[in-house]
């Protein structure tokens, strides 16, 4: 198929993801987090099977769009569900497992690409996606509903059972107090979409949407989508060599995400994010130099590999997991689904824009200026995080909600220190 058709098929997934993220928040608040995870699994199964058997390009675009719907739903509901079920002391690491699943899936896709690179059997490549979809659908039958959603819908006794199941260390008194805290927090907030602009929610919404956009315009998915192309531009002679280099990027992505999981509840969200952004900005500057300086192709290739690995490592330890963690923590339970939908739509929308503009930017500006442009966006992100993003380490979701109430009407800089609290 032509490059244009490839772009249309790829864009179909991203458009579907935007739509899925947009509709899933309100549905998750209405029918529950668990049912939405099941819905995502069903969409994945329909989409990947349909893609594998698509008789023509229009059918493939539609079925890939269905896969995109599942991606949009799952990308929002996954972090949301984990954050509401996990104990506060473990929430950062557990929510970051969502990012580990994403990076592992990306690495697996690189390996599948390598396995089928010579055969061109794209139907098998798509069809294999039914395996994780079936595992998700089967696994959700063993998962409890979110205790916070249960309390918000008047099912406190069920919520107590879930809390005792997911955190055996909690005493009966702590479970009762946690349910009271959740119930109290739900009474403080409006539930309509207009509540997203309420003074106590607006700052959190701004941070979530800004992080969503920053995560994409700093260039991560240009690396993920176009890594083989970038390596070929840098001087790798064969497609197989560039695929192997890309697999190296995927391995680093997974390993550094594991590091982030180990650190996020120890050192905090801000430290990881700010440190990672410094590494991203530095590596983007180096990548730009690699393409700008008149050096030998072999040297350019070596510098590109090192620069991309540092960039991926820095992203994987910071902006990758911390974005999804923050948007799952900072909103009140009454509008958490809707607010996360807004942030997730912004994320996928920015993803779509970056994916559609990268090759155009390279053609019109050059490879080096394109990487430097992403570097400028990374510096802007660092300033934003340093000035506006609070630390949430060790706080319960209800304590984070109370933080925004206390901040209402205040113009002093936000606290940058988390407070260790009861689980």
pLDDT digits (tens, 9 = 90+) for 123-146: 888 888 899 999 999 999 999 999
Mean of pLDDT over the chain: 85
Instruction: Determine the Cα–Cα distance for residues 273 and 279; give it in Å rounded to an integer.
Output: 10
| pLDDT value of residue 281 | 97
Share of the chain above pLDDT 70, in %: 87
For residue 165, being part of any structural domain is answered with: no
Q: Is 398 exposed, middle or buried (0-12, 13-18, 19+ CB in 10 A)?
A: buried
Q: Look at residue 288 and tell me whether its pLDDT is greater than 80.
A: yes
| pTM, 2 dp | 0.80
For residue 340, being part of any structural domain is answered with: yes
Greatest mean pLDDT among 68-77, 173-182, 243-252, 361-370 lies in 68-77
Q: Mean pLDDT over residues 83-107, rounded?
A: 88
| pLDDT value of residue 413 | 41
How far does CA 369 lie from the centroid of its chain?
A: 26
Which structure tokens are listed for 80? 């949301």
For residue 423, being part of any structural domain is answered with: no
| CATH code for the domain in which residue 91 is found | 1.20.1250.20
pLDDT in tens, 20-55: 999 998 899 889 999 999 999 999 999 999 999 999
Integer CA distances (angstroms), 303 to 284, 292, 306, 361, 391, in order: 11, 12, 5, 21, 35
Q: Mean pLDDT over residues 375-387, rounded?
A: 97
Share of the chain above pLDDT 90, in %: 44
For residue 229, being part of any structural domain is answered with: yes
Q: Mean pLDDT over residues 48-68, rounded?
A: 93
Among the listed ranges 152-156, 234-238, 344-348, 356-360, which one has the minimum average pLDDT value? 234-238
Number of domains in the chain: 1
Q: What is the domain extent for residue 46? A: 3-143+188-407
Instruction: Determine the Cα–Cα distance for residues 13 and 345; give it in Å rounded to an integer.
Output: 13
| pLDDT value of residue 3 | 60
User: Which of residues 379 and 182 earns the better pLDDT score?
Assistant: 379
Residues 6 or more apart whose CB falls under 8 angstroms from that of 112 comprise 125, 128
For residue 419, being part of any structural domain is answered with: no
Q: Look at residue 239 and tell me whether its pLDDT is greater than 70.
A: no
CB 319 within 8 A of CB 274: no
For residue 18, being part of any structural domain is answered with: yes
| pLDDT value of residue 408 | 64
For residue 82, being part of any structural domain is answered with: yes
For residue 179, being part of any structural domain is answered with: no
């Amino acid at each position: 198929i032509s490059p244009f058709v490839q772009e249309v098929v790829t864009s179909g997934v991203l458009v579907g993801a935007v739509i899925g993220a947009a509709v899933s928040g309100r549905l998750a608040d209405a029918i529950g987090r668990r049912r939405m995870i099941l819905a995502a699994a069903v969409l994945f199964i329909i989409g990947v099977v349909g893609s594998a058997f698509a008789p023509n390009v229009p059918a493939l675009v539609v079925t890939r769009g269905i896969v995109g719907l599942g991606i949009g739903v799952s990308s929002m509901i996954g972090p949301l569900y984990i954050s509401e079920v996990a104990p506060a002391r473990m929430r950062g690491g557990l929510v970051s497992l969502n990012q580990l699943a994403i990076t592992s899936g990306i690495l697996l896709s690189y390996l599948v690409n390598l396995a089928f690179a010579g055969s061109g059997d794209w139907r098998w490549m798509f069809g294999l996606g039914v395996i994780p979809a079936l595992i998700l659908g089967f696994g959700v039958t063993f998962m409890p509903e979110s205790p916070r959603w249960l309390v918000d819908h008047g099912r406190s006794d069920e919520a107590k059972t879930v809390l005792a199941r997911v955190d055996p260390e909690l005493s009966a008194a702590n479970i009762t107090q946690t349910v009271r805290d959740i119930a109290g927090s739900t009474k403080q907030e409006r539930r309509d979409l207009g509540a997203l602009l309420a003074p106590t929610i607006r700052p959190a919404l701004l941070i979530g949407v800004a992080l969503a956009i920053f995560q994409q315009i700093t260039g991560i998915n240009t690396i993920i989508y176009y890594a083989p192309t970038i390596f070929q531009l840098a001087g790798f002679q064969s497609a197989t060599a560039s695929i192997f280099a890309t697999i190296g990027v995927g391995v680093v992505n997974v390993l550094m995400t594991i590091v982030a999981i180990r650190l996020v509840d120890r050192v905090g969200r801000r430290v990881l994010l700010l440190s990672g952004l410094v590494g991203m900005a530095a590596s983007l500057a180096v990548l730009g130099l690699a393409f700008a300086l008149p050096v030998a192709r072999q040297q350019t290739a070596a510098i590109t590999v090192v620069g991309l690995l540092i960039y991926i490592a820095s992203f994987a330890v910071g902006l990758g997991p911390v974005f999804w963690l923050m948007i799952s923590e900072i909103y009140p339970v009454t509008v958490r689904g809707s607010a996360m939908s807004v942030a997730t739509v912004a994320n996928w929308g920015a993803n779509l824009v970056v994916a559609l503009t990268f090759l155009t930017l390279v053609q019109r500006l050059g490879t080096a200026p394109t990487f430097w442009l992403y570097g400028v966006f990374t510096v802007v992100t660092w300033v934003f995080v340093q000035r506006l993003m609070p630390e949430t380490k060790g706080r319960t979701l209800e304590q984070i909600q109370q933080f925004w109430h206390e901040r209402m009407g205040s113009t002093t800089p936000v606290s940058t220190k988390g407070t260790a609290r009861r689980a």
